[in-house]
C-alpha cells in the first residue's frame, strides 16, 4: 500500500469516525435547539441565544435563522440589521427557505446593507422553488415592477397565481386586480370578483372594499346591494378609508330594512381560511 | 454607522445607528415640545393621576396576557398588540411620524401608510415592551407635559436584566385616554421613527416608505423546528 493510499484510508476512517461522532452528537443538538425554543417562548431571550449560538456556529441553519431574527427585531440583543443579514446569509446558504425569504426582503429594503434587487430575486427564486408562498408572491411582485429582473407581467401573474391558489390573501387580492385590469392575463370580470371574494372571506379589507363595489354595480357577479353594503361595512370596520366613503354613499340609496339586514349580516360574519 | 448598543445592551431604538443617540435625545426634546394641541374644541388638560390609573389598567391587562404561559409567544404578542391598538392614538402618531410628507401624500398613500404603520409599530412596541419573562410594572411618577398632556414614568422590571425606564405621553380626548408616545430609556419612539422615515422618504418617496414597511411586516418570525 502506497503512502498516499494509507493517507486516503486514514482520511476515510477519520471521516467515518467524525460521521459517527456527529451522529452521536445529533440528539444533544436537537435538545439544545428545543431548549432554546422553550426559553424563547418564555421570553427568556438571552437563554435562547445561549442555547442557539453554539449550534449556529456549528452550522445549524435553524439556529442561524432564529438568531438572525433576534438581531433584526432587537430581542435580547441590540437591534442590528447587519448582524441579522450575516446570520440569514449563512442559513440561506444551507438552504433554509425562511432565511432565503427574509434575506431577500432585507436586500430589497436596503437597511443594514445596500439595496440589491438582483440578489433579492436570486434568493426569492430559491425560496419560491421550495414552495414558500410569501416568496412566490414577492417574486411575482418583483416581476410586475421589473425589480432585479426584466418586467414580465405573464411571469408575475404565474407566481402570484401560485400563491393565491395556496390561499395567500394578498396574492388573491392581487390576482383579482390582474384579472380586473388585464395585467399579465386577459381581463375577466368573473375571475376578478372570484379572487377578490376569496381574499375578502379571509378578512382582507382592501378585497372587501372591491367586492362591495363589484356587488353594488353587478360587475362579474349578480348585483346585490345588501351584500355589497355588508362587505363595505366589514372593510369600514377595519378603518378602510375608501370603504367608509363607499359605504356611506351606498347606505343612502338603501331602505332602513336593507341597511339593517346588511348590518345583521356583517355582525354574523367571521373570517375563513388562510395561508 | 452600525446601530450602537445602549447602556443596558438591549434597547437600541430603531434607526439609532443612522443618527446617533445624542442627536436622538435632542429630537426627543423637540418632539416633547411638538405635538401641539390641535383640533377644534380640543379639551383642556389631562389629569396626570387619571392618566396613571389608565396606564395601570392597561399594564394589568398586558401582564395578564404575558403571564399566560399556555399561549405561544406569537399568540401573547398578538394579544398585547390588541391591547395597545385600543390604547394608542395610532392615527395621530402615524401622521406625526410621517411629518411634512403627510400633507403631500394622496388619500390612497395615506390609507396604505396608516394601515402598515399601525401593524409595524404595534409589532415593534409589543416586542420592546412585552414578551419578556417575569415582567413587572411600576409607576414611578406622573406629571403634566406641555399644555395638555400627562407624562407617566414607569419602571418595567425583567428577570435577568436591568429594569427598563419608560415614559408614557398620554392625552385625554373625546375617546378617552390615548397614548401618544413612549419614551424608552430617554428616547422618544416617535422621534426615532420620524427621523428614520424622513431619511427613507427623502431617498425613495412615500411609496418607497410604504414598500419598506410592507417588507418589514412580511418577514418570518423565529421558528420551532
- Mean pLDDT confidence for B120-136: 76
Counted domains in chain B:
1
- Please report whether residue B34 resides in a domain: no
- CB contact under 8 Å between A78 and B220, yes or no, is no
Angle among Cα A187, A192, A194 to the nearest 5 degrees reads 145
Asked whether the beta carbons of residue B220 and residue A44 sit closer than 8 angstroms, the reply is no
Q: Residue A190 and residue A187: Cα distance in Å, rounded? A: 9
- Between chain A and chain B, the number of residue pairs with CB atoms below 8 A apart is 97
Residue A113 touches chain B, beta carbons under 8 Å: no
Residue that wins the pLDDT comparison between B19 and A217:
A217
- Write out chain A residues lying below 8 Å of B111, CB-based: 240-242
Please give the tally of structural domains in chain A.
1
Q: Give domain status of residue B193, yes or no.
A: yes
The band of B23, judged by pLDDT with boundaries at 50, 70 and 90, is low
Q: Is residue A223 part of a domain?
A: yes
First to last CA, chain B: 34
- From chain A residues 206-245, the ones with a CB under 8 A of any chain B CB are 239-242
Minimal Cα distance from B203: which residue of A? A110
Question: Residue B45, exposed/middle/buried by CB under 10 A (0-12, 13-18, 19+)?
Answer: middle
Inter-chain CB proximity A81 and B215 less than 8 Å = no
Helix or strand run (H / E) with residue B177: strand B176-184
Residue B224 domain-assigned? Answer: no
Q: What is the ipTM of this complex?
A: 0.78
**Cα distance between residue B99 and residue B120, in whole Å:** 17
Grid coordinates given for A249: 354613499
Q: Which pLDDT value is given to residue B203? A: 81
**C-alpha span between A236 and A231 (Å, rounded):** 9
The nearest CA of chain B is from the CA of A53 a distance in Å of 14
What integer pLDDT is reported at residue B34 of this predicted model? 54
A181 part of a folded domain? yes
DSSP B18-48: HH-HHHHHHHHHHHHH-S---STT---PPPH
**Chain A residues within 8 A of B110 when measuring between CB atoms:** 241
- Cβ pair A85, A79 in contact under 8 A: no
Question: Tens digit of pLDDT for each residue in B155-165?
Answer: 988 766 778 88
Residue A133 burial (C-beta neighbours within 10 Å; 0-12, 13-18, 19+): buried
- The answer to whether residue A37 neighbours chain B at the CB level (below 8 Å) is yes
What residue numbers bound the domain in which B195 lies?
44-217
CATH of the domain at B92: 3.10.450.710
What's the whole-number mean pLDDT along residues B204-219?
85
Q: Is residue B148 part of a domain?
A: yes
Taking the CA of residue B220 and the nearest CA in chain A, the distance in Å comes to 6
Q: Report the pLDDT averaged over residues B60-69.
A: 83
User: Tell me, what's the pLDDT at A190?
Assistant: 98
Residue A37: its chain B contacts at CB < 8 A?
222, 224-225
C-alpha cell at B152: 407617566
CB B87 within 8 A of CB B178: yes
CA A46 – CA A52 distance, rounded (Å)? 10
- Is B120 inside any structural domain? yes
Res. B37: pLDDT tops 60: no
- Would residue A87 count as lying in a domain? no
Whole-number pLDDT of residue A235:
95
pLDDT score at A54: 96
Q: Of B179, B176, B119, B174, nearest to B149 (Cα)?
A: B179
Asked if the model's pLDDT at residue B62 lies above 90, the reply is no
Residue B101 within any structural domain of the chain: yes
Q: Please state, rounded to an integer, the average pLDDT across all residues of chain B.
A: 80
What's the confidence (pLDDT) of residue B14? Answer: 34
Band the pLDDT of B27: cuts 50, 70, 90.
low
Q: Which residues of chain A have pLDDT under 70?
A: 1-28, 111-112, 274-275
Among the listed ranges A263-267, B98-102, B182-186, which one has the minimum average pLDDT value? B182-186
CATH number reported for the structural domain that contains residue A179 in this entry: 1.25.40.10
**Structural domain boundaries enclosing A250:** 167-275
Could you report the per-residue pLDDT of B129-148, keeping only the tens digit for each? 766 666 788 999 999 999 99
Per-residue model confidence (pLDDT) at position A19: 47
| Cβ-defined contact of B223 to A98 (cutoff 8 Å) | yes
pTM of full prediction above 0.90: no
Q: Which range, of A217-221, B26-30, B36-40, B170-174, averages the lowest pLDDT? A: B36-40
Residue A265 in domain: yes
Q: Do A81 and B225 touch (CB under 8 A)?
A: no
Instruction: Pick B9's closest partner by Cβ from A37, A78, A205.
Output: A78
Amino acid at each position: 500500500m502506497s503512502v498516499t493510499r494509507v493517507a486516503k484510508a486514514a482520511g476515510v476512517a477519520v471521516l467515518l469516525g467524525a460521521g459517527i461522532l456527529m451522529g452521536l452528537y445529533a440528539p444533544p443538538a436537537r435538545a439544545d435547539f428545543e431548549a432554546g425554543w422553550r426559553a424563547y417562548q418564555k421570553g427568556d431571550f438571552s437563554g435562547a441565544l445561549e442555547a442557539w449560538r453554539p449550534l449556529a456556529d456549528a452550522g445549524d441553519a435553524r439556529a442561524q435563522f432564529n438568531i438572525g431574527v433576534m438581531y433584526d427585531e432587537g430581542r435580547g440583543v441590540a437591534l442590528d440589521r447587519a448582524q441579522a443579514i450575516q446570520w440569514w446569509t449563512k442559513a440561506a446558504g444551507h438552504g433554509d427557505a425562511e432565511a432565503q425569504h427574509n434575506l431577500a426582503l432585507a436586500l430589497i429594503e436596503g437597511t443594514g446593507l445596500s439595496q440589491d434587487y438582483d440578489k433579492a430575486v436570486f434568493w426569492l427564486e430559491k425560496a419560491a422553488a421550495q414552495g414558500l408562498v410569501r416568496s412566490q408572491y414577492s417574486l411575482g411582485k418583483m416581476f410586475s415592477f421589473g425589480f432585479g429582473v426584466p418586467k414580465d407581467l405573464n411571469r408575475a401573474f404565474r407566481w402570484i397565481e401560485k400563491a393565491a391558489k395556496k390561499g395567500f390573501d394578498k396574492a388573491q387580492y392581487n390576482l383579482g386586480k390582474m384579472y380586473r385590469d388585464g395585467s399579465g392575463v386577459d381581463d375577466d370580470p368573473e375571475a376578478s370578483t372570484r379572487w377578490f371574494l376569496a381574499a375578502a372571506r379571509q378578512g382582507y379589507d382592501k378585497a372587501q372594499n372591491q367586492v362591495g363595489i363589484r356587488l353594488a354595480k353587478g360587475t362579474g357577479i349578480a348585483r346585490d346591494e345588501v351584500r355589497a353594503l355588508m362587505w363595505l361595512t366589514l372593510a369600514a370596520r377595519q378603518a378602510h378609508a375608501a370603504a367608509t366613503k363607499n359605504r356611506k354613499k351606498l347606505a343612502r340609496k338603501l331602505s332602513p330594512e336593507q341597511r339593517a339586514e346588511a348590518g345583521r349580516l356583517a355582525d354574523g360574519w367571521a373570517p375563513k381560511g388562510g395561508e | 454607522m452600525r446601530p450602537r448598543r445602549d447602556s443596558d445592551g438591549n434597547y437600541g431604538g430603531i434607526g439609532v445607528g443612522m443618527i446617533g443617540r445624542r442627536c436622538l435625545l435632542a429630537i426627543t426634546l423637540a418632539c416633547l415640545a411638538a405635538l401641539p394641541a390641535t383640533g377644534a374644541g380640543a379639551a383642556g388638560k389631562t389629569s396626570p393621576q387619571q392618566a396613571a390609573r389608565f396606564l395601570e389598567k392597561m399594564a394589568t391587562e398586558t401582564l395578564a396576557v404575558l403571564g399566560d404561559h399556555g399561549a405561544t409567544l406569537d399568540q401573547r404578542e398578538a394579544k398585547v398588540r390588541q391591547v395597545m391598538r385600543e390604547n394608542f392614538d395610532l392615527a395621530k402618531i402615524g401622521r406625526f411620524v410621517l411629518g411634512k410628507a403627510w400633507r403631500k401624500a394622496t388619500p390612497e398613500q395615506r390609507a396604505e401608510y396608516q394601515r402598515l404603520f399601525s401593524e409595524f409599530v404595534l409589532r415593534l412596541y409589543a416586542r420592546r415592551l412585552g414578551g419578556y419573562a417575569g415582567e413587572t410594572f411600576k409607576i414611578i411618577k406622573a406629571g403634566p407635559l406641555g399644555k395638555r398632556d400627562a407624562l407617566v414614568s414607569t419602571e418595567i422590571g425583567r428577570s435577568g436584566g436591568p429594569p427598563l425606564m419608560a415614559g408614557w405621553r398620554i392625552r385625554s380626548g373625546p375617546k378617552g385616554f390615548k397614548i401618544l408616545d413612549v419614551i424608552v430609556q430617554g428616547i422618544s419612539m416617535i422621534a426615532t421613527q420620524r427621523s428614520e422615515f424622513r431619511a427613507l422618504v427623502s431617498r425613495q418617496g412615500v411609496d418607497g416608505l410604504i414598500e419598506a414597511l410592507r417588507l418589514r411586516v412580511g418577514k418570518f418570525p423565529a421558528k420551532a423546528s
